[in-house]
Amino acid sequence: MTTQTTFYLSQVLGRKFYSSDGNITGKVKDFLVDLAALDPSPGKPVRPKVIAVKVKVGMYERVLDFSSLEIIQENRSLRIFGSEIEEISTAYLSNVIWLKESILFRRIVDINDKKLEKVWDIRLVYIPSGSFAIAVDVGFSGWLRKHGFLAVMEQVSSWFGMHIPVQQILWDDIESVDIATSKLFLSKSTSKLTTLHPSDLADIIEDLDKATRTYVFAALDEEHAADVLEEMEPNAQVQIIESLPLEKAADLLEKMDADEAADILDELEDHKVELLLKEMERESSEEVRELLEYDDNEVGSIMNTEVYTLSADLSVEEAISVIRKGQPEPMHIHTLFVTDDDDRFISAISLAELVISDPSKLLSEIMVKKPMTVLDTDKIDTLAEIISKYNLLSVPVINAENQLEGMVLIEDIVDDLLDKRKTK
């Protein structure tokens, strides 16, 4: 007999469990692991420790302490022996999960590759200090092992000088997204999903079924959730908003840019839109209402109203100081706008131009004298030609009184053109 150091959950499930005197005491049904990190230091790997085993004895199931158990390999077969068999209660245990029940054959997020995978098996290691889960098998080899075909296929593959690819993900790099385990894996402070770019996370959430999609989305903090919602496809956005409580949905819409929130509301039924607008804070609600009044083919319907304005009599140095004190969102200051006291548009200056200009010069000296603008009621179709002809990244949007209403970014035009192409 030799001590087995590495094994898979599929290799022990259903196996007989022996007492120290060699008597069969039941069959293994599942392993309970403690999710707490052995070493919480940053960068240290997380290796959940097996603390209990569920064993079926006749018609009943017992949960036994794993600390005195040993895994032995005999003639290619694994056996679990217990020198001291002690039954324990899991009622008061926290931060624990059953591997088969919660992870096996369920979907997880591969944090590195930013995609969903199905777990076919779980790799564990047995050492003198205990057994630990170290990885999940999401590849063909795991599927074969699960169905009992791996040994045969490995033999056949060897005849042709081939090998069966192994696709495993370390425990540190996975996140559970199934409803059954979300309450254990998805916490706002520790979820690995928060490390993903909103666009990547949006793609993952869109691939989930509606119920799981809502559960995972609700586990994100509001700031991150708003960023992710902006990146999702319209039908998924609508499903998320309609599935959330009214107050929660309104909070998310408030944290989004007004044009993005308006796009979502434009897809909802009128009575739902009115309920959400009434639930939102007054300032945010009024801003979105104004955008909803535009026809779908008007520039105002896709403009971004989050703009940063400055006075023409400021020096470059003073303008930079004002921006620093205001601490605006970086995405809102790629282009800065010069207006008068009545919010009438004068000109636009890129942040790059501002940074490289002489600090002592006034904005009136460095701004474009005859800037390109569009009216909020102009047709969207005219934007692509303007941006292409004048090589612009954004276009100021004004009303009939020459007051600045917002701006249209090149990405807004691209998104609009793509949406139209999808509907053709």
pLDDT digits (tens, 9 = 90+) for 126-135: 887 888 999 9
Q: Which amino acid is at 16?
A: K
Low-confidence ranges of the chain (pLDDT < 70): 1-4, 22, 24, 37-44, 74-77, 81-84, 149-156, 158, 160-161, 177-191, 414-424
Residue 359, pLDDT score: 92
Give me the chain's average pLDDT, please. Answer: 82
**Contact criterion met (CB below 8 Å) for 231 and 257:** no
- Angle between helix axes 234-243 and 258-265 (nearest 10 degrees) is 80
Give residue 182's pLDDT: 46
Tokens 């703009």, located at residue: 307
> Across-strand partners of 82?
19, 69
User: SS3 of 55, please?
Assistant: strand
User: Which residues fall within 8 angstroms of residue 107, CB to CB, at 6 or more apart?
Assistant: 116, 117, 118, 119, 177, 178, 208
Nearest to 265 by CA among 292, 232, 299, 296: 292
pLDDT of 356 reads: 93
Domains of the chain, start order: 2-173 (no CATH), 186-293 (1.25.60.10), 308-423 (3.10.580.10)
> For residue 388, what pLDDT is reported?
78
